[in-house]
Amino acid sequence: MKILAPSILAGNHAHLLQALEVAEEDGRKWIHLDIMDGHFVPNLSFGPQTVADLRKESKLFFDVHLMLDQPDRYVDSFIQAGSDLISIHLEPKYDHNATLDKIKKAGVQTGMVINPDTSVEGLIPYLDQLDLVLLMTVFPGFGGQKFLESVLEKAQVIADLRKENQNNFLIEVDGGVGPEHVTACLKSGVDIIVAGTAYYERDQAGRKEFAEAIELN
Ligand code: DX5
Ligand code: ZN
């Protein structure tokens, strides 16, 4: 399964639902929702009420990326809001296991994220519990940054570990991804490609072409 998950961070926030509708009309199955706390990342986005309200209007798979210092404090709200998958960052200090347990017990899929300068070793103890590993290909906080191609070496390492341990988690990349990076991403074992700017700046034909380059693989 190869999927393009548009990130609505790049949409018009006065009309977020329209950003979802564009993706839905385009045939996308996933939508990526970026939650920022102004601490873990130097920016703010939107919160659980926005996710809950969008949930009522959309059948897309909600791929929720929590960029929070204390995801353990907020994860319940994002479960309640109707997330289908919640990814939490490895870097901050909190009880990662308890937080993953809580997500799983609620019947929501689990993801763990690492920043470009975090090595994959720290993820190893969690791999058996994960539905998704998210590798940041920019430093999180803002859309429209430059794709860090060197992160794909980590994707390859994670893909090898997945094979070795017979895990089933998906591998996702997020940040700066455009059509020109698709081949390299897929070659490195990536399943889910998040794209904000490169998706929403295109017209419908361009978006379809971008998606098909991924999803026909
Ligand atoms: C970055 C976010 C990304 C962002 C991607 O902090 O986690 O999901 O929306 O946007 P682009 O594709 O514009 O880098
Ligand atoms: Zn994201």
Q: What is the pLDDT of residues 62-74, one digit of tens each?
A: 999 999 999 999 9
Atom of ligand 1 nearest to the CA of 145: 14
Report the pocket of ligand 1 as residue ranges, CB < 6 Å: 7, 9-10, 32, 34, 65, 138, 140-145, 174-177, 194-198
The pLDDT value recorded for residue 93 is 98
> Which pLDDT does position 47 carry in this prediction?
98
Yes or no: say if 137 and 169 are a contact pair by the CB < 8 Å rule. Answer: no
Instruction: Please state, for a pLDDT cut of 70, what percent of the chain lies above it.
Output: 100
Q: Determine contact, residues 141/162, Cβ cutoff 8 Å.
A: no
Q: What is the pLDDT of residues 148-192, one digit of tens each?
A: 999 999 999 999 999 999 999 999 999 999 999 999 999 999 999
What domains, with CATH codes, occur in the chain? 3-215 (3.20.20.70)
For range 2-26, the mean pLDDT: 97
Q: In ligand 1, which atom is closest to the CA atom of 136?
A: 7
Q: How far is the CA of 105 from the centre of ligand 1 (A)?
A: 28
Please state the rounded mean pLDDT for residues 29-33. 98
Tell me the pLDDT tens digit for each residue of 71-113: 999 999 999 999 999 999 999 999 999 999 999 999 999 999 9
**Residues in Cβ contact with 67 at an 8 Å cutoff, skipping those fewer than 6 apart:** 34, 35, 36, 37, 40, 41, 89, 140, 141
pTM: 0.98
- Give me the helix-helix angle, 71-80 and 48-57, nearest 10°: 20
* 203 Cα–ligand 1 center, Å: 19
CA angle in degrees (0–180, nearest 5) for 112-141-116 = 50
Quick one: pLDDT at residue 217? 86
Q: What is the mean pLDDT of the chain?
A: 98
Task: Give catalytic residues, as residue numbers.
Answer: 34, 174
Q: Is 64 helix (H, G, I), strand (E, B) or coil?
A: strand
Q: Which of 142, 207, 214 to mutate to test the pocket of ligand 1 (most atoms within 8 A of CB)?
A: 142
DSSP 8-state assignment for residue 167: -
Ligand nearest to the CA of 7: 1
